[in-house]
Amino acid sequence: MSLTTRRGSAACALLVAVVATTLPRVALAGDAAAAREQLIQGYNLSQQGKCLEAIPFFKESVRLEAKAITLINLAKCEEAVGKTADALGHWVDARAKAVAEGSTAIEEEAAKRAKALEPKLPKLTVRLAKGVPANVEVRRDDVVLGAVSLGRPLPVNPGEHVITVRSPDHEEWSTKVTTIELDTVEVEVQVGKARPKSATPETGTPGGPPAPTSTSPLVYAGFGVGAAGLAVGAITGLMALGKASATRTNCPDQRCTTQDGLDDARTGQTLGTISTVGFIVAGVGTAVGVYGLVWGGKKQSGGATPAVYVGATPGGAMLKGTF
């Protein structure tokens, strides 16, 4: 045997080995056994007159492994429950699959049933009304209709159909239409109401998001002063309570006969005044902070920056500034 012949034989042997190891994997990829089980379940239901229940089993069998015998059983059930447009599609698929499988009997039956069914199908034309933008999405039931499908009579199942129009600039619009066998229906679709547009950041006119607002300095100043006043008021208040307790001990019947008692009484009065002023300052500061949150973000007349000054006086608290 020549070297060329031996190389050719080796190549053929390798090819046969590759095919032998690949074919089982391809067959298993479709899960033929599961497809056959689904076909049997659907067939048993259809024989009991339960085509609506049988259709999901036939569809699952086709998904797992499309066979001509499964397609004609699916088409028969769909035709029996009035889904004639779906049935026509599956009769056509069954004919093509039968040709590939070499099944003449199924091919002839599928061709005959498709030819008899096609003239009975209702046709539905969906057309855009004048002025409807071209970027809308038109759905017939769960099917999105492309631009080439609009304005053309397309076969549909008899019964009620929902036509929906969606647009980024308009609210959703929908209508219902009912078709029967041999029927030809045309529907003109619209768009819903225009959606309101938001303001632009620069001009405050429609077309963009609202301009962001900055936090007023009054917020930081007011709440800062309020926190400080609250702290001072609380601490000095506690100290004043301590001095009051000492005064009651050193000055029975509110009569102070010792220097320590007099000092405690005076210190307690001073601390009480400071505590009161602290709480007043805390209240005023909090009010200024709230004012800054609600109104401080608005532009002040003349472009002035809001300012606030809070302080204590011998008689209480002082607040002044521009708002």
Q: Same topology for domains 31-119 and 123-189, yes or no?
A: no
pLDDT for 87: 96
CATH homologous superfamily for 123-189?
Carboxypeptidase-like, regulatory domain (2.60.40.1120)
pLDDT digit string, tens, across residues 251-289: 766 666 666 666 767 777 786 788 787 678 767 768 776
pLDDT for 2: 44
CATH homologous superfamily for 31-119?
Tetratricopeptide repeat domain (1.25.40.10)
Report the relative pairing of strands 307-313 and 143-145 from DSSP bridges: unpaired
Q: CA 121, CA 157: separation in Å to the nearest integer?
A: 7
**DSSP bridge partners of 81:** none
**DSSP bridge partners of 301:** none
pLDDT for 76: 97
């159909």: which residue's tokens?
Answer: 161
Sheet holding 170-179, edge to edge: 143-145, 137-140, 159-167, 170-179
Residue 300 pLDDT more than 90? no
pLDDT for 112: 97
Q: What is the pTM of this model?
A: 0.51
Tally Cβ neighbours within 10 Å of residue 52.
Answer: 14
pLDDT for 252: 67
pLDDT digit string, tens, across residues 202-230: 544 555 555 555 677 766 776 777 677 67
Q: Could you state, in order of their start, the residue ranges of all structural domains in the chain? A: 31-119, 123-189, 217-322
